[in-house]
Amino acid sequence: MTGILAHVTAGPPINHADGVLAHAVALPPARHAAAGILAHGVGSRHDLPIPLFYAFAGAFAALFVSFLGLALLWADSRFRGGTAGRPVRLPEGARTRWALRIIGLAGAAFTAAWMLLGPGDPGRNPAAHLVYVVLWTGLIPASLLLGPVWRLLNPLRTIHLLLGGRDRGPAPFGYRPAALGLTAFAWMELVSPAPAAPATPAVFLTLYGAAHLAAAFRYGTRWFDRADAFEVYSALIGRLSPLGRRDDGRLVLRNPLDGLDGLRPAPGLVAVVCVLLGTTGYDGFSDSPWWVNLLQTGPLGRTVTGTLGLLTAIGLVAALYRACTAAAGLIGRAGRVRNGAAVPVPSGGAGDAAGGGDGATGRNGATGGEDAAGGVGVTGGRGMARMFAHSLVPVAVGYLIAHYFSLLVIEGQRAVILSFGLDRTVDPDVVGPGAIASVQVLAIVIGHVLGVVTAHDRSVRLFPPDRAVAGQIPLLVLMVCYTVGGLILLFAA
């Protein structure tokens, strides 16, 4: 994301505490390239409300205290997944659903008009902001509050419906197409030669839309449930929404961790959360001086080097996660699941994350018949990784909030100004550096603590009582590693 905004703004530079944006002023080529690769880290430690040492100390204390407290006080699984929640009544009839669909189509048409008919100068065309800021970062708070909102806003799903698309049952491939889509979007955003040029998102979204519509007509409506990158992105974040649906289809207020517990293991789910973590991490370190210098002077060129760096970041996150879950399975005697029963599958039912039944805007969607594939009864290796994949969701959401909070608040203003031609300027001081730093650190720490809690609850459900706590130690190590990495990226930027 950061490699874009430097090329789409104009005016004097803004020295914002989190390094949110750099302005394309007249700089020598090397300095201009470096300015185009800024990250959303906290920036100078002098801007932080607490010293670096205390940030790390507080994070580690939160993780270890929560781990010890859970080990002593939480002996049995407490989350109820798709059976939890207190019913509520909110507008969710056909009129509401069609109103949201029309809003999604109108937003897509508005963005497409700017891409195709607007000026080629990114400083006067809001297309990049509409895609990278309004869509990508805006879905984070919207999904946290309301659940998987993109299911009804998704213009591709609406077009498929209007053209007579039908439900042909569960689609194949699990979440794998979504993982590929998220990787491709991140590549366009962070690595492609001209991410801010209106033609770049126009070409990407045209090819993306055509491919998914063709697949939806081949496999049916449920293709979007797990294959559409933006639906899966919104649905996973929406798992932490207080609004959700029980297995019986009722809209309920719930403990967000019950919603997370209802996420059913499926092929490709681990890949999706690792892509979210890895791409966000790459965005965080891509402004480091050594990396900027490598991009500028490396023998492979900026695009090839950036592509390799992006894939390496994703691979490292995935390798660490798989190693720790494999160790957890060995220590917890994964081959001997609790009470000799098959691995219990989280109750998801109508509330399946990518099945679209979760949240205020979903209905009693399909449960996804292949949910069990690779999840039910699998207790070693790959199956164990899938069973704990839900514990990475709050970690990923914490990173997303920390990384994009200031981007949405500040550059969201520019998106509105450019879109409607307002005679206003962006206020870079709408949030101070102390507030930004606090949100970033708290988001990462809270995300990791929730990851520890969800992993513990799943461990006591899976492992024999005498091995449940020991089996979590590799997962605690995993959370510590991710916490260290996240805070280092924020402070180093």
Alpha carbons 485 and 491: distance in angstroms, whole number: 10
The pLDDT, as a whole number, for residue 77 is 82
Contact 61, 492 (CB under 8 A): no
pLDDT value at 240 more than 90: yes
The pLDDT, as a whole number, for residue 492 is 61
Q: How confident is the model at residue 228 (pLDDT cuts 50, 70, 90)?
A: very high
Q: Is 187 helix (H, G, I), strand (E, B) or coil?
A: helix
> Which carries the bigger pLDDT value, residue 1 or residue 192?
192
Q: How confident is the model at residue 52 (pLDDT cuts 50, 70, 90)?
A: low
The pLDDT, as a whole number, for residue 66 is 73
- Determine what percent of the chain is predicted with pLDDT higher than 70: 77
> Which carries the bigger pLDDT value, residue 349 or residue 64?
64
User: Of the ranges 30-44, 251-265, 332-346, 460-474, which is most confident?
Assistant: 251-265
Q: Is 330 helix (H, G, I), strand (E, B) or coil?
A: helix
Alpha carbons 280 and 323: distance in angstroms, whole number: 21
**Which string of b and e fits 329-348 if b means at least 16 CB within 10 Å?**
bebbbbeebbeeeebbebbb
Say how far residue 492 (Cα) sits from the centre of its chain. 22
Tokens of 471: 């089996």
pLDDT value at 35 more than 50: no
Cβ neighbours of residue 321 closer than 8 Å, sequence gap 6 or more: 270, 274, 385, 392, 478
Q: How confident is the model at residue 363 (pLDDT cuts 50, 70, 90)?
A: very low
> What angle, 0 to 180 degrees and rounded to 10, lies between the N-to-C axes of helices 155-162 and 94-117?
110
423 backbone φψ class: left, alpha, beta (φ>0; ψ -120 to 50)? beta
Q: Report the 10 Å Cβ neighbour count for 73.
A: 7
What's the chain's average pLDDT? 79
**Per-residue CA distances from 57 to 15, 17, 486 (Å):** 28, 22, 14
Tokens of 128: 């990049």
245 backbone φψ class: left, alpha, beta (φ>0; ψ -120 to 50)? beta
In degrees and rounded to multiples of 5, residue 286 shows phi and psi of -70, -10
User: Of the ranges 179-183, 188-192, 389-393, which is most confident?
Assistant: 179-183
The pLDDT, as a whole number, for residue 355 is 39
84 backbone φψ class: left, alpha, beta (φ>0; ψ -120 to 50)? beta
- What is the identity of the amino acid at 134? V
Q: How confident is the model at residue 295 (pLDDT cuts 50, 70, 90)?
A: confident
